[in-house]
Amino acid sequence: RERRPDRAIETNVEFWAAVILDFAEVPAHMMPAMFTCGRTAGWCAHILEQKRLGKLVRPAALYTGPEPRTPESVDGWVARNPS
């Protein structure tokens, strides 16, 4: 991704994880290990999948899920009156 000095830095999951770990009083020097532990299972799954397929897996990063829906179309939705 091209560096954009005019754009603010986007927050990612590590930012919020660091906030939670700090609140839990986890020492700062332990945070990289905590992030790594949380990702190890996913890394292992990717390695096994790539080994099974015999090629590198490159995600397309295209959303293929259902179309957006309105709140009213969700079963159990009850609109609240702001008054």
pLDDT at 26: 92
pLDDT at 12: 82
Domain residue ranges in the chain: 9-57
Q: Is 21 helix (H, G, I), strand (E, B) or coil?
A: helix
For the chain, residues with pLDDT lower than 50 are none
Residue from 34, 1, 40 nearest 18 by CA: 34
pLDDT at 83: 56
Residue from 45, 19, 47, 54 nearest 34 by CA: 19
pLDDT at 2: 62
pLDDT at 23: 94
